[in-house]
Structure 1
């Protein structure tokens, strides 16, 4: 059972998210919080697998709370704001996913499941904007950074950049899921990254997913 903490300053949004989460047989909501400070306290009490985090809240916002929680919990940022600076800051603070509040119920459930597995989830709209911002910028630096990777790690990085989950990568590259997880961990460590989304950005910036010329 995936344990979820819902964080939003509007009680109706929290109620909506709880209802969506609890339609799934494999997900349960273990707590709710109305601001970032309360989120930190609730996380320490309930030890959730995934935190669904709003950004704009009183007292302590979601970006601040994400920075405090991301080292111990998997945080998926959920907001009405799809501005690039929020996405970049949330990812820099360690969020493993970013969804807009107009996402479908299935997208929200998928994001929670992906985060719980250690994968990453971005809404398609956010992904397009993010990659437009990063791809092509600093390409030579990105190419130099990935030079430390083995050939197999580069293959896995390409798959991560393509948005594949560990399960999908295992099938595509004919290796066990445990081996994929090991490769992903090594990639993150070698590139000094905190999550798969940052790895995907590096893959795109380095041109690993560019079509053949």
Structure 2
């Protein structure tokens, strides 16, 4: 994976946390968004962990570029900020996860594994803000997101609800007794029919439409 933060001490701390997990390998570091995009192009990591506020190119702009050029690289935003605007912009940039630096280190490991497996991950604090934002319309500009759910098949409804619960393609496949390729096809169809960019936005649709319980 790729770790990008303009503070060397933060990068060292993140690497130390990730080193606890033998299933995670850091292949590159970057001190700014511009270098993060360059490193992602070279190494094509499964996951890119980006700080939001970085020089030259901020993390959100870098996330959008990586998402556009390297769809096989999932992006997690890591920041000290939890304001709704940052969350909304990160999701719009195609981020698959959002963590706060104040989160428990275990959240970082969980988030990396979740997005690497094709899932989405919001730390509990961020998820709470997203749900609150949906209730007030701050994250959707007051526009209902479930208007196109009628275009989904019954199976796609089921997949969307499981996706909204944070399950990866493999976990959904196991739950529904399907092959993973079939689930991937369902997810692609869901994203297209809902006109959303990624799994996180689809999950937000599921939450807003009441397909996912409060837990």
Aligned length: 208
Runs of 4 or more consecutive aligned structure 1 residues displaced over 3 Å after TM superposition: 135-141
Q: Deviations over 1:107-149 (max 9, x none)?
A: 2112111111111111011011112212474798433211110
Asked whether the 8 Å contact 2:156–2:186 carries over to 1, the reply is: yes
- The reply to whether residue 168 of structure 1 matches residue 171 of structure 2 is yes
Match of 1:192 in 2: 195
Measure, in 2, the Cα distance between the counterparts of 1:47 and 1:171: 28
User: RMSD between aligned alpha carbons?
Assistant: 2.0
- The reply to whether residue 84 of structure 1 matches residue 84 of structure 2 is yes
In structure 1, the gaps of 5 or more residues are none
Which of 5, 10, 35 is the matching residue for 2:7? 10
Which of 199, 203, 207 is the matching residue for 1:204? 207
**SS state at 2:102 partner:** coil
Which of 45, 50, 56 is the matching residue for 2:47? 50
Asked whether the 8 Å contact 2:53–2:59 carries over to 1, the reply is: yes
Asked whether the 8 Å contact 1:8–1:35 carries over to 2, the reply is: yes
Match of 1:35 in 2: 32
Measure, in 2, the Cα distance between the counterparts of 1:156 and 1:115: 17
Q: 1:173 and 1:19, CA in 2 relative to 1: closer, same or farther beyond 3 A?
A: same
Which of 153, 156, 177 is the matching residue for 2:156? 153
TM-score (norm 2): 0.89
Q: 1:209 and 1:113, CA in 2 relative to 1: closer, same or farther beyond 3 A?
A: closer
Shift of 1:164: 2.5
Q: 1:135 and 1:186, CA in 2 relative to 1: closer, same or farther beyond 3 A?
A: farther
Measure, in 2, the Cα distance between the counterparts of 1:52 and 1:140: 30
Which of 61, 65, 68 is the matching residue for 2:65? 68
Shift of 1:104: 2.3
Shift of 1:195: 1.4
Match of 1:105 in 2: 105
Q: 1:57 and 1:143, CA in 2 relative to 1: closer, same or farther beyond 3 A?
A: closer
TM-score (norm 1): 0.90
Shift of 1:105: 2.5
Shift of 1:210: 6.0
Measure, in 2, the Cα distance between the counterparts of 1:144 and 1:196: 18
